[in-house]
Structure 1
Amino acid sequence: MTAIPRVQGAHLVGSINQPTATDTFRIVAENLGADLARIPDGEVGERFHWMLFQGQVFDMTPGLARLPIEPIMHAGFDLRPLALDSSVAPAELVIGELGYAQAASDSYAAFLALRADGVIAEGTRFQVCLPSALAPMTTYIANVDRSSVYPAYEAALKREVAAIASVIPADDLAIQIDMATEFAYIEGTSLGGGPLDPWFAIDTSRDAIIAGCVRLAASIGSAVPADVELGFHLCYGDVGEKHFVEPTDSEALVAVANGLTAEVTRPINWMHLPVPVDRDDAAYFAPLAELNLAATTTLFLGLVHHEDGIAGATARIDAAREVLAAAGVDEFGIGTECGFGRGPAERTAGLLTLHADILKAV
């Protein structure tokens, strides 16, 4: 008889609604620290709205210019697309610093101070969350120029990875690649700018789009040094605490997770998959039977929801366990389906302790 998987440990996706990295580290350590292997800085400051601040990076890039249309404002950011302006050949386009390495360096200093004071437990890693290159490209670059501009942004993101790894010791560092925009392409969903053109896929079939998404993300993940922990957060978005489309089941998530496992050229330490709040049925979890993660990869299911607490999470855990046993998974952890930085700050402590309470209950 296949053993029922154990439920052990929690994972924080990234965003946490606190004013500073120090505030984030403190509230996390006090309410969930014993169950975490790594702690993010909460994506504070200009990263509050995930990667929308990358528009200013594109604005400072010679060779790119905003389309001459009225500003498209969202959360204080102008989402007007940029296009190549013919002043720089696409092959010579150079995108400068993205801001992630500087933010990581600043937050790591706060992390070290709190660990020295005993607030953060020894052995806990500092987690840096990065968007896939496809996300800011899709948000800010005109569709006709995405394939031409992408190599420059991918190169810039890899330089950020190298810069982060150069200032944070490998045994203290964990890097997560966030894949949300990918699932808009996979599901054929518009993100507000019209239909998405999967320029990176060999054709427009679902399998080809999944393969293209995996190829792009695997290139970034493979650039993370082998002695640094690496994880992937697969996501259906979190605008207004709501997915851009609700997944029918976990089939696409499993396909992407298995693709990354096959294509990333270094170990993957964790994989995080979301579970919608209204899904505790066998149909949603059934595709997990085909999950083929490496033995070195810890699975985290984003099944913690503040709306239904311990009871809801337990129902989703029970639905997942039998299927995961069939896939040979002997242990998995829990988390929320996405970051909770856009939720109210006063909910943070209770949501963190909810993770701990769920782990105790199961």
Structure 2
Amino acid sequence: MTAATPTHLVGSINQPDAESVFRVVADRLGDVPRIPDGEVGERFYWIQFQTLRFDQTPGLERVGEPGYRIRDTFDVRQFRVTGDVVLPELGYANAAIESYERFAALKEGGVIGTAIRFQVSLPTPIAIVGAFIEAGSRAAFEPIYRDALQAELDRILEAIPHDQLAIQFDAAVEFAILEHDRRPAFAVGPWWEGGALEGVVERLVEVGAWVPEGVEQGYHLCYGDVEEAHFVQPADAGQLAAVSREVLAHARRRVDFIHLPVPIERDDAEYFASLAGVEWGETQVFLGLVHHEDGVAGALRRAEAARTAVASFGIATECGFGRGPEERTAPLLDLHREVAERLSA
């Protein structure tokens, strides 16, 4: 069942629990490089669950009156800093350590292949600060959250064997900053001195350097996913190429993989053209070519166009699929396998 074209799972997968994720992925895909735990439970809507902790944090208060809630659960109002902020545990380490216990047991039992790593997806500090903190408080809050997130990672690194682990940093709000001119309603301005791209790259390189050699490290570059829609569709891969190129040029350790989205309608070479200028080196590129709406044929069209700019790549969806219906999970995994097999033929 192993395919020569590698498959990457971005993070979220709609299943009842982590063991269900591990089992369905192992059954449908076999020896993928990494398996995440599906970001099950409170993490199902990416970073939104962090606001539930902020609501309980002294020194933070909501801005404005209550109104719309995502999925009737997550209050969309931002926070301001009003005093000394001491964040509680963020929840990422506890979830990873608990899920890894099931991962390790299934690997020992032969359900999961011996070479597969356990993937932990973490947000970047920019994601949290840009999404949830009002503009006037962002500079003050960023180092607080950065330190708390690094502490979560340190617990993960202490608990999970390094040769079993991969860390992925999810960068989405970064592109709301870089694309602010194209969608002002979703714009997030930089809160640092200097250029937007320079600040984004500096921060991505910093979090990547938290991960020691021996642990795989990569990035998921994203244009957002609110109810399976981007905050703005990329005009082309130019911003993705710029971030990838600069991160790889300045990285303080090897970047093992980078995932890039590909919109469903972009099966033209022009979309991918700017990626030809990126020196990928040893970094594995994964392209989000797989869309459940148009199946194998659509993925193969996008792959053909991508080959004009990227010589070698693996496949993925544009983003995680944990917020799609559960009954779509197994067919979507089957679609990954079918596309990988066709591309390897």
TM class by shorter-chain length? over 0.9
Equivalent residue, structure 1, for 2:16: 19
Classify the secondary structure of the residue corresponding to 1:230. strand
**Contact 1:182–1:213 (Cα < 8 Å) also in 2:** yes
Q: Which of these residues, 253, 267, 282, is aligned with residue 266 of structure 1?
A: 253
- 1:186-237 deviations in Å (ceiling 9; x for gaps): 11169997642211251xxxxx212211111221111111211001000111
Please say if 1:242 is aligned against 2:238. Answer: no
Aligned to 1:298: 284
Gaps of 5+ in 1: 1-5, 203-207, 326-330
Q: Which amino acid aligns with 1:247?
A: P
Q: Tell me which residue corresponds to 1:3.
A: none
Distance 2:201 2:144 in 1: 19
Q: Distance in 2 between matches of 1:240 and 1:58?
A: 23
Q: Pick from 265, 269, 275 the counterpart of residue 282 of structure 1.
A: 269
Question: How far did residue 9 of structure 1 move?
Answer: 0.6
1:248-306: CA deviations, max 9, x gaps?
Answer: 100100101111112221111000011110001011011011112232x1011110111
For structure 2, the 5+ residue unaligned runs are: none
SS in 1 for 2:254: coil
Larger displacement relative to structure 2 (180-189 or 337-346): 180-189
Q: Does 1:318 align with 2:308?
A: no
The equivalences for 1:24-173 within 5 A come to: 24-34=21-31, 36-67=32-63, 69-75=65-71, 76-85=73-82, 87-88=83-84, 93-173=85-165
List, as ranges, runs of 4+ consecutive aligned residues in structure 1 with deviation greater than 6 Å.
189-194
Deviation, 1:71, is 4.5
Against the structure 1 CA distance between its residues 194 and 338, is the aligned structure 2 distance closer, same or farther, given a 3 Å change threshold?
closer
> Taking structure 1 as reference, are residues 243 and 201 closer, same or farther at Cα in structure 2, changes over 3 Å only?
farther
1:83·1:142 contact (CA, 8 Å) conserved in 2? yes
Equivalents in 2 of 1:268, 1:195: separation in Å? 28
In 1, Cα distance between equivalents of 2:93 and 2:184:
29
TM-score, normalised with respect to structure 2:
0.94
**1:345 alignment partner in structure 2:** 326
Q: 1:320 to 1:194 in 2, by over 3 A?
A: closer
Task: Give % identity.
Answer: 49
CA shift for structure 1 position 171: 0.3
Equivalent-residue separation in structure 1 for 2:182 and 2:38 (angstroms): 28
2:329 is paired with a residue whose SS is helix
Provide the residue aligned with 2:169 in structure 1: 177
**What's the CA shift for 1:73?**
1.9
User: Normalization by structure 1: what TM-score?
Assistant: 0.90
| Separation in structure 2 between the aligned mates of residue 236 and residue 67 of structure 1, nearest angstrom | 25
How far the C-alpha of 1:69 sits from its partner, in A, is 2.4
Do residues 251 (structure 1) and 238 (structure 2) align?
A: yes
Q: Deviations over 1:157-207 (max 9, x none)?
A: 1111111000000000000000011111111169997642211251xxxxx
